[in-house]
Amino acid sequence: MDKEASIMAAASKELSSQFRALIDTDDIETLKQQQMLILGRLQDSNAVLSHFNDFSENCFSEVSSDLARSTRVLKSMKPDLDYIFQKLRSIKGRILATYPDAFPDESSREELDRRPDLELPQ
């Protein structure tokens, strides 16, 4: 068993010495420097991203209450607007029934009125 162990140790030493002969120490130092440079850049990028995340979180917390309030206002306005448009349609229908020429046809209507149609879904 001792003979085997000594053979293994000698083979390991020989292999490691040959392996060391293949590798240039200057190349290893250059690789280490490049790795340290990349590590520094990654740490800087991580710091910038962390700062941006903190900034974004602060901005969102400032805006979120306004956004929630505006959403509530819009949701409360929608039924009122639906009711108004329904009434306008019924009034327009009654006017058309009484006065058929009250509103221009579609071809001349576009020339007169260039406002967007708010009733169309977008």
Task: Band the pLDDT of 2: cuts 50, 70, 90.
Answer: confident
Other beta carbons within 10 Å of 118: 8
Residues 6 or more apart whose CB falls under 8 angstroms from that of 118 comprise 85
Q: What confidence tens digit (pLDDT) does each residue in 44-98 have? A: 999 999 999 999 999 999 999 999 999 999 999 999 999 999 999 999 889 888 8
Residues 6 or more apart whose CB falls under 8 angstroms from that of 119 comprise 85
